[in-house]
Amino acid sequence: MSIPDTLKLIKKLPEIINIPDSSASNLDTLLVKFPEYFRTIDPTPFYVRTDFWLSVFTVLIAVTALVLPNIKAKRKEEKRLNELRDYFLYLIRSTIEPIEKEIKDHLEMSSFISNKEIRNFGLNKSTLVFIDHVNTLRMTDLYKIFVERIKAPIEEKANHFRNIIRSLDLLKIISQNKEQNFYQFINTIKPIELKWEDCTNEILRKCDLYQSNFETENLQFKDDPFLERLLKVRSEWYRSDTRDKVDYMMSKLISPIQNLCESDFKDQRSMKLMQLTTETERCYVKITGLRKQFAEGFKASADKLSQLKYQILEAYNFYISQ
């Protein structure tokens, strides 16, 4: 058989063998059908013909050229998926410590907000920035690695995959909400606390003014029982180390002064102080309500983070065991 005839034969291989491609799995079929086809061209026994073996050799080279690239591509893809699996599991394992830190930060923030002190707040930046790396990975690759290639009950591996992807998404949302909720709390409560400080400072300023006038006139407390009781309230509040706490100031300073004013409406000073204590009480109600709302919110986020941490660890241990 001439070289041109051999080339024509190679072109007809898919038609002769009746297979879609000349892959390695179809090589046996090729070797069986090829001699049969060769006999239709020339009835001479093929095993004594040099041109037959030359053609066989040529065909084998052609088949090898078709099969080898597919094998190499498959091995390359397998290596890529294995490396991606290791990288993804590394990222998952690396989430645990930052999650624990986030849980601690949320609990501390909840406790700090509940403390009800008028003071500056600080925000710890989120340590969950690595989640952005996970989002760069293709979901189709992850599904192929952690669902299709794993030999386990479909429901079990699908649940672990769904839980870990959902957990990572929720981690990012909670991380973003932490900063948003913090600044929302600050921006909402700060004007109210400033109003509270203005009112309480004005109350204390009036107490000082009334005392100064009293001392200037060289009067005795028996001549001014209202002032005597007022200064006694202020003195008892001032002696406490927790006097700056909102709750303590309200219970030991504002409310007693308010009760004093209500018991003596005839005194003009009581009317002025009553207006201030009423406004201060309104601020107190708003402050305590906001602090409770946001403290409970940060506590709920900490609980959710603990749940996500458990789900991630459970999925990680499952994948490692496969």
In a 3-state reduction of DSSP, which class is residue 125? Answer: coil
Task: Write the CA distances from 155 to 90, 160, 311, integer angstroms.
Answer: 24, 9, 16
Distance CA 16, CA 18 (A): 6
pLDDT recorded at residue 217? 72
Res 321 pLDDT > 60: yes
pLDDT recorded at residue 48? 47
Distance CA 208, CA 212 (A): 6
Res 37 pLDDT > 90: no
pTM above 0.85, yes or no: no
Res 78 pLDDT > 50: yes
Give whichever of 149-153, 161-165, 301-305, 316-320 has the largest mean pLDDT: 301-305
Distance CA 239, CA 253 (A): 11
Distance CA 50, CA 43 (A): 14
Q: Which two tokens stand for residue 7?
A: 């080339």
Q: Residue 164 is which amino acid?
A: I
Cα-based angle 173, 175, 179 (whole degrees, multiple of 5):
110
Digit-coded pLDDT (tens) for 215-242: 777 667 677 888 889 999 999 998 888 7
Burial status of residue 282 (CB atoms within 10 A of its CB: 0-12, 13-18, 19 or more): middle
pLDDT recorded at residue 234? 92
Digit-coded pLDDT (tens) for 285-297: 999 999 999 999 9
> Crossing angle, helix 225-238 and helix 268-321, to 10 degrees?
20
H/E run at residue 13: helix 13-17
Give which of 33, 40, 36 is closest to 19, Cα–Cα.
33
pLDDT recorded at residue 63? 58
For residues 278 and 147, the answer to whether their CB atoms sit within 8 Å is: no
pLDDT recorded at residue 285? 94
Cα-based angle 320, 148, 317 (whole degrees, multiple of 5):
15
Question: Could you please report the per-residue DSSP string of 178-233?
Answer: HHHHHHHHHHHHHHHHHHHHHHHHHHHHHHHHHHHHHHHTT--GGG-HHHHHHHHH
Q: Which two tokens stand for residue 290?
A: 């906001």
pLDDT recorded at residue 20? 47
For residues 253 and 233, the answer to whether their CB atoms sit within 8 Å is: yes
Percent of the chain whose predicted confidence (pLDDT) is above 70: 71
Q: Which two tokens stand for residue 172?
A: 């990012």
Digit-coded pLDDT (tens) for 2-36: 445 544 554 455 554 444 444 444 544 544 555 55
**Average pLDDT for 160-177:** 87
Distance CA 233, CA 225 (A): 12
Distance CA 145, CA 137 (A): 12
H/E run at residue 116: none
DSSP 138: -
Cα-based angle 23, 40, 56 (whole degrees, multiple of 5):
40
Q: Which residues contact 176 (CB under 8 A, 6 or more apart)?
A: 126
Res. 149 pLDDT band, cuts 50 70 90: confident
Q: Which of 192-201, 263-272, 309-318 has the lowest mean pLDDT?
A: 263-272
